[in-house]
């Protein structure tokens, strides 16, 4: 009896301690008139709204009625609306999952809008009429909460609770949002029976972490069937489970808004956040709950929609048609067969639900179906080929080591030729063999072999490459005529071909004229539109009335398409992720008019980034009545860290400024 009393006392004490922490965190200060009248905050004076405080509390507990461990999570947020652009912040949305394997229950939704009503704080309660539910699918219900009386200056308190038996991956907590956050706190209370690995993302830091632990006891029920006298009878057992409840509070303050920048994959990779992945349980013994990569490979290869999706037999006739060809020729033939005969329907995924025969007959398929058909064709030809799973740029980065198949959303192909991997994806008709779509350039994947999922680097063999030459003729009557030839390679060629296909005819020519502002486009020609193994090329004849023949001096800037400066901000938080290297070269040749000599030329200049990661070369030469300007910008890396950014920005600024420098020609005195 004494032992029972002690256990019960510990149990009650732990509940009280846990509840006290929970209540203190979720109890916000009283709203004052001064709070409502405040119109800006130092963290960002231009912000449309500010999160004054956001608190999350998650506990894994034993649910007696359901006889299982679950988590319950409460979130409370207070938002200040500062101007009309922030009025949409008065609407909140979240999804509820209701599946067979696990489900989520919304335990509470409540909130208030606080407004300044003639110098007094008025509190308007969120009503049921403000809560709307929409069944997006059989398993997903969408909640939309629209707060009443949302106006400039108001403050919103929103609180909701969710409960679920899905413990494999806990909800991600975002300390950072698209508006500034003054205070964010996330507390978890997790039994030591569950071992989670925490993964932080983003470029901010926690201000503090407060940790504690205490003993807890719960009565656990489990059932099993026993055989008694040839009958199977259910038996119910109860026992006290003792464990340590680990309490961890993470606090972050004054977090700036995460704003979109050019050249990022997906912003979700960069929000400061924490996620928790279950890796093991420790009830009677330590047990891993994650499959290993070899186990995942075995499972995938045995699946009808993955390993068994490879159907070599369908391509028997094709294999006979290329018999005797070299390995690379066979690969090229198989790639062309799928690329030119099956249209990608735009769907991603790692599983194929239609056979190669079906997609070849229907002439359409998902990325997985097209690429599994390509593997089938390659293997039919005797080429060793494997699927490579990856996460696309828009889907975000994956954990480098954790074996989590759900993070992967795309399949490409790896063919092994003479010990080298040739990566390919037959979904695009605009890409030559060996050049993957830019969406795949997320730098890593896993090749699924018979016994393992082997890490594979996914680096681009192509670049965004442009080569432009232009011959200028400055005529005596004040007219400048020029013939410009631009050749585009790699991803730049794909981009141009894609644009050309979508904007045939007059619209394409009209857009080209826009890029030649202040020039009259006399003719415009496009070459190698369908020859994807050749550069996409444009040839443009242009002219302009540039000067009065009576002028003593001619001021001339030869740059037709100006070099764009994407990096105007002095600092940058995110990496600059182009996806592939960049090479841009311009060679301009200018023929001087009779009776003029060069008075001033731009100065030569060379700028190099540390580590030879990039360079800008600007060289001017004169020979007789000819001037040649060679301008080259080369970025050898597909991605640059924020520590590289100042050097990258400096180089771009320098390249941009060089284009503003003029050539000055002066009449000779003998004329």
Three-state secondary structure readout of 330-384? HHHHHHHHHHHHCEECCCCCCCCCCCHHHHHHHCEECHHHHHHHHHHHHHHCCCE
Provide the phi-psi class of 5: left if phi over 0, else alpha when psi is between -120 and 50, else beta.
Answer: alpha
pLDDT at 7: 36
Between strands 140-146 and 131-135, the pairing is antiparallel
Q: Indicate whether 592 and 468 sit together in one domain.
A: yes
How many separate domains does the chain show? 3
pLDDT at 414: 97
Model pTM above 0.75 = yes
Q: Indicate whether 524 and 569 sit together in one domain.
A: yes
Query: In angstroms, rounded to a whole number, what is the distance separating the alpha carbons of residues 387 and 383?
Result: 13
Residue 140: give its domain's CATH number: 2.60.40.3140
Taking 70 as the pLDDT cut, the residues of the chain under it are 1-25, 225-233, 505-515, 562-563, 669-671
Describe the strand order of the beta sheet including 596-600 as a list of residue ranges. Answer: 553-556, 663-667, 596-600
Q: Indicate whether 401 and 535 sit together in one domain.
A: no
Q: Indicate whether 15 and 57 sit together in one domain.
A: yes
Q: How far is CA 36 from the centre of its chain?
A: 37
Closest by alpha carbon to 622, among 642, 597, 658, 647? 597
pLDDT at 548: 79
Closest by alpha carbon to 575, among 530, 642, 635? 642
Closest by alpha carbon to 52, among 213, 200, 180? 180
pLDDT at 19: 45
Q: Indicate whether 513 and 578 sit together in one domain.
A: yes
Range of the domain at 60: 2-288
Residue 402: give its domain's CATH number: 3.10.620.30
Q: Indicate whether 454 and 532 sit together in one domain.
A: no
Q: Indicate whether 307 and 338 sit together in one domain.
A: yes
Can you say whether the dihedral through the CA atoms of 38, 41, 44, 45 is positive or negative?
A: positive
Contact (CB, 8 A) for 39 and 153: yes
Q: Indicate whether 450 and 494 sit together in one domain.
A: no
Which residues make Cβ contacts (< 8 Å) with residue 552, sequence separation at least 6? 666, 667
Count of C-beta atoms within a 10 Å radius of residue 403: 17
Tokens of 433: 């063999």
SS (H, E, C) 172-204: EEECCCCCCEEEEEEEEEEECCEEEEEEEECCC
Q: Indicate whether 246 and 355 sit together in one domain.
A: no
Angle CA 189–182–162, to nearest 5? 35
Q: What is the pLDDT of residues 597-640, one digit of tens each?
A: 999 999 999 999 999 999 999 999 999 999 999 999 999 999 99
Query: In angstroms, rounded to a whole number, what is the distance separating the alpha carbons of residues 579 and 582?
Result: 9
pLDDT at 223: 75
Query: In angstroms, rounded to a whole number, what is the distance separating the alpha carbons of residues 614 and 604?
Result: 17
Query: In angstroms, rounded to a whole number, what is the distance separating the alpha carbons of residues 458 and 434?
Result: 11
Q: Indicate whether 107 and 200 sit together in one domain.
A: yes
DSSP state of 442: S
Of 288, 323, 342, the last residue of a domain is 288
Of 431, 458, 485, the last residue of a domain is 458
Residue 525: give its domain's CATH number: 2.60.120.1130
Tokens of 161: 């609770």
Query: In angstroms, rounded to a whole number, what is the distance separating the alpha carbons of residues 559 and 617?
Result: 15
pLDDT at 329: 96
Q: Indicate whether 600 and 471 sit together in one domain.
A: yes
Q: Indicate whether 421 and 330 sit together in one domain.
A: yes
How many angstroms separate the Cα of 128 from the Cα of each of 123, 132, 145, 147? 16, 8, 9, 11
Of 458, 473, 503, the last residue of a domain is 458
């Amino acid at each position: 009896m004494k032992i029972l009393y002690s256990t019960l006392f510990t149990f009650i004490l732990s509940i009280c301690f846990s509840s006290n922490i929970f209540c203190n965190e979720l109890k916000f200060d009283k709203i004052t008139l001064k709070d409502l009248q405040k119109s800006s905050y130092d963290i960002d004076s231009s912000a449309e709204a500010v999160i004054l405080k956001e608190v999350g509390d998650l506990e894994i507990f034993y649910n007696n009625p359901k006889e299982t461990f679950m988590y319950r999570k409460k979130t409370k947020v207070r938002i200040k609306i500062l101007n009309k652009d922030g009025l949409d912040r008065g609407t909140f949305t979240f999804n509820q999952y209701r599946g067979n394997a696990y489900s989520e229950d919304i335990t509470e939704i409540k909130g208030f809008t606080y407004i300044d009503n003639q110098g007094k704080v008025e509190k308007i309660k969120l009503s049921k009429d403000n809560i709307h539910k929409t069944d997006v699918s059989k398993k997903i219900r969408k909640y939309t909460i629209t707060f009443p009386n949302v106006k400039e200056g108001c403050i919103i308190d929103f609180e909701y609770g969710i409960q679920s038996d899905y413990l494999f991956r806990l909800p991600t907590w975002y300390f950072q949002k698209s508006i500034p956050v003054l205070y964010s706190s996330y507390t978890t209370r997790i039994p030591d029976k569950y071992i989670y690995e925490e993964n932080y993302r983003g470029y901010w830091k926690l201000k503090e972490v407060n940790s504690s632990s205490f003993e807890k006891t719960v009565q656990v029920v489990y059932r099993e069937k026993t055989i008694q006298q040839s009958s199977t009878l259910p038996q119910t057992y109860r026992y006290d489970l003792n464990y340590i409840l680990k309490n961890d509070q993470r606090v972050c303050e004054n977090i700036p808004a995460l704003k979109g920048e050019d050249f990022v994959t997906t912003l979700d990779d960069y929000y400061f956040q924490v996620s928790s992945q279950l890796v093991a349980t420790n009830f009677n013994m330590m047990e891993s709950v994650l499959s290993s990569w070899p186990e995942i490979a075995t499972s995938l290869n045995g699946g009808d929609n993955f390993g068994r999706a490879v159907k070599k037999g369908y391509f028997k006739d094709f294999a006979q048609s290329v018999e005797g060809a070299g390995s690379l020729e066979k690969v090229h033939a198989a790639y062309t067969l799928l690329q030119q005969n099956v249209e990608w329907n735009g769907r991603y995924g790692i599983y194929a639900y239609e056979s190669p025969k079906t997609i070849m007959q229907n002439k359409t398929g998902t990325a997985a179906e097209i690429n599994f058909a390509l593997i089938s064709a390659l293997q039919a030809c005797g080429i060793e080929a494997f699927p490579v799973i990856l996460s696309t740029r828009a889907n975000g980065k994956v954990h480098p080591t954790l074996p989590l198949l759900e993070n992967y959303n795309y399949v490409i192909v790896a063919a092994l030729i003479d010990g080298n991997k040739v990566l390919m994806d037959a979904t695009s008709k605009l890409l030559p063999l060996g050049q993957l779509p830019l969406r795949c350039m997320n730098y890593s994947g896993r090749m699924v072999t018979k016994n393992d999922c082997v890490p594979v680097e996914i680096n681009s063999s192509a670049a965004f490459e442009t080569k432009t030459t232009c011959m200028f003729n400055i005529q005596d009557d004040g007219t400048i005529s020029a013939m410009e030839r631009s050749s585009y390679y790699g991803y730049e060629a794909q981009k141009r071909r894609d644009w050309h296909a979508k904007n045939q005819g007059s619209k394409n020519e009209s857009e080209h004229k826009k890029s030649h502002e202040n020039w009259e486009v006399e003719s415009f020609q496009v070459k190698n539109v369908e020859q994807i193994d050749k550069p996409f090329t444009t040839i443009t004849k242009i002219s302009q009335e540039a000067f009065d023949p009576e002028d003593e001096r001619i001021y001339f800037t030869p740059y037709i398409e100006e070099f764009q400066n994407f990096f105007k901000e002095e600092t940058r938080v995110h990496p600059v992720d182009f996806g592939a290297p960049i090479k841009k070269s311009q060679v301009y040749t200018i023929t001087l008019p009779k009776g003029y000599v060069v008075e001033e030329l731009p100065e030569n200049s060379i700028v190099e980034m540390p580590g030879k990661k990039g360079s800008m070369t600007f060289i001017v030469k004169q020979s007789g009545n000819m001037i040649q300007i060679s301008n080259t910008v080369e970025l050898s890396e597909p991605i640059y860290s924020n520590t590289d950014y100042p050097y990258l920005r400096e180089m771009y600024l320098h390249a941009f400024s060089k284009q503003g420098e003029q050539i000055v020609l002066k009449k000779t005195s003998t004329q």
